[in-house]
Each structure stands twice: as C-alpha cells, then as structure tokens.
Amino acid sequence: MRNISSSPAAAKEKTILIVEDSKIFSHVLSNAVKKELGLEAVVCSCYQEARDYLEHGSQDLFAALLDLNLPDAPYGQVVDLVVGKGIASIVFTGEISDDLRDRMWSKHIVDYILKDNRHNVQQVVDIVKRLQLNTGIKVLVADDSSVSRKIIRDLLEVWNFTVLEAGDGREALDILNRQDRIGIVLADYNMPEMDGMELVKELRRTFSKTRLPIIGLSGAGGATTSAHFLKAGANDYMHKPFLAEELYCRVRHNLETTEYILTIRELAEKDFLTGLLNRRSFFNSGEKLFANALRGNLNLVVSMMDIDHFKKCNDKYGHDAGDEVICFVADRLKSSLRQSDLVARFGGEEFCVVGVNMHSENITEVFEKIRADIENSVIRSGEHEMRVTVSIGVCSTLKSSLEEMITCADDMLYKAKNQGRNQVCVE
C-alpha cells in the first residue's frame, strides 16, 4: 500500500486509487488489491487529497474505488472528479435508492457496492478482475440505430471492452470474418439486409453457444420476440430500453458462463500439473490424426519419452522438486515441437508425442535435439540445482492402429533404457 506522500513517478499503470475515510476499510481493500490482484494501491482519505493526487501525481490508474460519502464531499463529488479524469470507478455506498442508483449510473461508473456485509471486499476484487479480463475482449454490437449503438458502446467501454459496430446483420458477419477475439455479440431484431434473428441463425452454423454468446435486443414485441431469439440460438435477450445495470449484468453473466465452461473443458482435457493433453484427450485427437494418416492425407510419427532415474530425483530432492522437473520437461517439449503436434503426459514421468508431417530424414535429429537440450539444462527448484536426462523411443512407420504405433514407440523406449538410457531409438 502507498499513501499520497509516495512519489507520483512510482505510480504505474497497474495501480488502484482508493478514496475512503475509514482507515480499517481502506487498509483491508489495499491488502486485497495487492494480494489477490497484484496491483499497487494509492490511498486517499478525503476529496481534497484525491484532487491533489490527481492534479500533481500520476493519473495513469487502472481503476478507482470511491467512497460516496466523504467528510469533505458528502454528495458524491469525488465520483465526478475521478470519472471526469476517465478513470474506471467503483463506488461504495452505505445505502441505495432508485434515485441514487440512477444518478450513479448516469455518471458512467463501473458498478456500486453496498457496505452492508463482509463480502464487500471480495465483490470489489471480482469486479476489478472482470475489468482486467475485459481488456482485449471485443463486443460486436449489431443495430441499425447509430444512437442505440452509441449508448451501448459508451456503457461497455466503461468496462474496458473494445466495442465494434455493425449497422446490419451482413456487416456483422463481415466483421466476425475479419476480426478475432470477439467475445460476445449483441444483435438487434429489426435491421435491414439481415435482421437479428437471421444473424443468430447464421452465426450458430459456425459458432456454438459456448464459443460465442449472443444477446438478442428488441424494442418491439414481448415474450414472443424473446422466445424466437432464444429458439434461434441466442443465449439471452433484453428488451429496449434497458437499464445500464441490466446490460452489465447480462453481458458479464454470459461471458463468465462461457469462461466457466471453457475452464471445465480444459480441466477435463489437460493434465493438471503440466497443462499438456491428458491420455483421454490425446487419444481423442490422436485417433482423428491417425484416420487422416490412413487415408494418406498426412504422415505420423509417435514417440514415447521417459525421465531417467526419476524416482532417485524424487527421493533426493522431494516431490515438489520432482514436479518442477516434470513441468520443465513438459515445457521443453511444448517449445521444441509445433502446434500441429500432439504432446501428452501419459502419467508419472512418461510423455507421448504424435508428430505430424515430420520429414523422415529429420526425425532422429528432432528428438535428439530435445534429448540433448534437456541433458544440458539446469533445473532450479528452491535451493536445488538439478540435471536430468530422458530416454526416447520413436515409431516412424504407420501401423494398423494408433495403439500399435504407441506400443512400437514404447518398445523403442525400453530399448533405449536397456542400452544405457539418455538416448533416442527409432524404429
């Protein structure tokens, strides 16, 4: 934590401004910002200190956490001050009313938090995390009304989204074909050329609900329009005019649902320690590659690899150091091979690779380079410096099944071990 006497030049981009007159609450907030978000905090206890800091200190702030009622600014003047500097602001308030809520949203705040329970700090952390995640995420707004697009764009930019605009469904499709990292689409129903319903149906030919969430919008119709949008493939629906708070909640909910699903899917497919494919996902992808190889569309090489004397490493340095060794070898495999190759941890200290379209004359060279690189590297874990070697077996000819190629590579691996380890054997 820093107070306002800290050198302004030290405040960097990853800094949060906290304006809060409660020393206990500001201390808890600044600790959470540092510990859970990895951000520095500049703490001001009143409006005057905040104004002095913004006028004379660094204004390159990521976000601000603002108490609505300060001793020298009891009516939320600090919100106007900070938001006026273009800083994303989260407001604390002891009470809320419809009038106060409307006034706060009209100032284009990020969100407000009620000071009513012990979960307030975690709410703040979650909102700032969301702001961090939103940086780089693109939202496509398809609406033939430029006024409507501007309203939505202004609201979403407060949350650090990059907003792309389309005047109709055809233009939206063109943008999706040209742009990457589009995380969510908002599609109005009534548009020329291609309306929102047609756009949703067209997008669902390419993008699943878990890949690209879509929120339908309409100022006409009621439950029927909502049902039609959802049946066409939209994830959600909002009726115009909507509250800024509703827009934020629905966009955030749909993005987080998509992210949760992707995380679950990744956990099911990846080895928890190394991030490599696990056995199940390896065979799912490997069988598809093998089927292509049988049709003559590509060439496959299968390799089995084992860390030599790994048990001795575990016994001497401990299991944490052993995990470091496994992760090191996994990282070297990922960096040495191509994205088109499959790399999996088969369990313990054993790895399997399916190489796609490797030139036959280079196969030994590729795996020999991996072996030598690992042998010549020093792995550091705490105070320990470790060296390990690997034995590698390679099957370079297509067999009748993927399992048979793995068995062949495994036989070559045992040959390498029986011949003294730390070598490559190719069949």
| Three-state secondary structure readout of the chain | CEECCCCHHHCCCCEEEEECCCHHHHHHHHHHHHHHHCCEEEEECCHHHHHHHHHHCCCCCCEEEEECCECCECCCHHHHHHHCCCCCEEEEECCCCHHHHHHHHHCCCCEEEECCCCCHHHHHHHHHHHHHHHCCCEEEEECCCHHHHHHHHHHHHHCCCEEEEECCHHHHHHHHHHCCCEEEEEEECCCCCCCHHHHHHHHCCCCCCCCCCEEEEECCCCHHHHHHHHHHCCCEEEECCCCHHHHHHHHHHHHHHHHHHHHHHHHHHECCCCCCECHHHHHHHHHHHHHHHHCCCCCEEEEEEEECCHHHHHHHHCHHHHHHHHHHHHHHHHHHCCCCCEEEEEECCEEEEEEECCCHHHHHHHHHHHHHHHHCCCEEECCEEECCCEEEEEECCCCCCHHHHHHHHHHHHHHHHHCCCCCEEEC
Report pLDDT for 118: 66
| CA 94 from centroid of its chain's CA atoms | 33
Report pLDDT for 4: 43
Report pLDDT for 58: 61
Is 2-131 a CATH 3.40.50.2300 domain?
yes
Report pLDDT for 185: 98
CB 393 within 8 A of CB 409: yes
Question: Which residue out of 20, 40, 202, 349 is catalytically annotated?
Answer: 349
Report pLDDT for 59: 60
pLDDT along the chain (427 residues), means of 10: 40 78 92 92 95 82 94 94 94 88 92 82 94 95 97 96 97 95 96 94 95 94 87 96 94 96 88 92 94 93 96 89 94 93 93 94 93 94 90 96 96 96 95
| Interval 406-423: pLDDT, tens | 999 999 999 999 999 999
Report pLDDT for 389: 96
CA dist., res. 328 & res. 232, Å (int): 47
Report pLDDT for 347: 85
Domain boundaries in the chain? 2-131, 136-267, 279-426
Same fold, 2-131 and 279-426: no
Report pLDDT for 390: 96
Topology of the domain comprising 279-426? Alpha-Beta Plaits (3.30.70)
Active site residue 349: yes
Report pLDDT for 212: 97
Exposure string of 389-401, with b = 16+ CB inside 10 Å and e = fewer, is ebbbbbbbebbee
CA dist., res. 62 & res. 22, Å (int): 22
Report pLDDT for 11: 38
CB 345 within 8 A of CB 273: yes
Is 136-267 a CATH 3.40.50.2300 domain?
yes
CA dist., res. 9 & res. 189, Å (int): 50
